[in-house]
Amino acid sequence: MKIVVLDGYTLNPGDISWEPFHALGELVTYEYTAPSEVFERLEGVSVCLTNKTCFPREVLDKLPDLRYIGCLSTGFNVVDVEYCHEHGIVVTNIPEYATFATAQMTIALLLEIASSVGHHSELVHQGVWTRGRDFCFWDRPLMELWGKTLGLFGYGKIASRVACIASALGMKVLACRRSEITEEMRRSNPQVTFVDEETLWRESDVLSFHCPLTPATTGLVKADTIARMKDGVILLNTSRGPVLDEAAVAAALASGKIAALGADVVSVEPIREGNPLLTAPNTFLTPHIAWAPKDTRIRLMDVAAGNLAAFLSGAPVNVVS
């Protein structure tokens, strides 16, 4: 059986192994696949793996042999899963593989905003401290996180890890979840207080987003939402870029309503030159790397291979179609 990886470069730029897939069939990997190349590369193929290569209805219609799409990610919005469900194409994803790394990135962004480690290190290397009069210096406000309130919009595995770390830093943690809050959630993190959206916006000093991208969360953070937040709120986004209305956030950063933004994701990736966040003050942007530690990608590879093995055995897991 032929297994085609359409865009494997970001998962494996050469530092990990595709070995888990070799035992499952004949593996063909492409670093990238342009939309015009999909049909040729998947002609007669029943199994493929994708990260960002899209499978809308009009593409799937022209791939009659396709029976399995393995998403090399937690998100699966690049695939028309409704079409796949209707036509018996199994689609799987990789849940939870980046829980630890994404929580780590969330806190890293927060700590950079609070303590300006990178900024002051750069100034030291530029000689600013050497030329200074005092034994210490800082050129922007620094923040102690102890006693501040962190609000989590969305509460799954990643947000739960963020809550644990924030609690260890002495922060009060609030969480809002639109779906059911289980007793297990309450027991696992008793330091978290679950609240409604209005309370979350009103009481949080820091707001961190950990929700999937859906019609309800697209543009969630817009002008009227921001108006209900505290003056000087800090925003963190390691979920999906379109959760933020970037123009509204940039305007609020310029006015000072939002004190700072830390984001690992933006609405269009790679970020476009005209993105308003690029020129907004107090904005800390990383290029969608929360998932990228080597350990994390090895875990993703292993789960993806396990998903395919389960499908081939007739008992698929992590199915989203």
- Whether residue 114 contacts residue 106, with contact meaning beta carbons closer than 8 Å, is answered with no
Helix (H) or strand (E) holding 91: strand 90-92
177 in catalytic set: no
Separation of alpha carbons 32 and 13, rounded Å? 11
Is the alpha carbon torsion for 18, 21, 27, 30 positive or negative? Answer: negative
210 in catalytic set: no
Separation of alpha carbons 149 and 168, rounded Å? 13
Separation of alpha carbons 125 and 242, rounded Å? 36
Which conformational region is residue 302 in: left (phi greater than 0), alpha (psi within -120 to 50 degrees), or beta? alpha
Is the alpha carbon torsion for 104, 105, 106, 111 positive or negative? Answer: positive
**Structure token pair of residue 79:** 């695939």
Residue with the two structure tokens 């530092």: 15
Q: What is the DSSP letter of 37?
A: G
Q: Which of 240, 246, 297, 299 is flagged as catalytic?
A: 240
Q: Which of 161, 288, 297, 299 is flagged as catalytic?
A: 288
119 in catalytic set: no
* Cα atoms in the 13 Å half-sphere on the side-chain side of 86: 7
Contacts of 203 (CB under 8 A, 6+ apart): 149, 151, 174, 195, 230
Q: Which of 19, 43, 269, 272 is flagged as catalytic?
A: 269
- Whether residue 11 contacts residue 51, with contact meaning beta carbons closer than 8 Å, is answered with yes
Q: Which sequence positions are flagged as catalytic?
A: 240, 269, 288
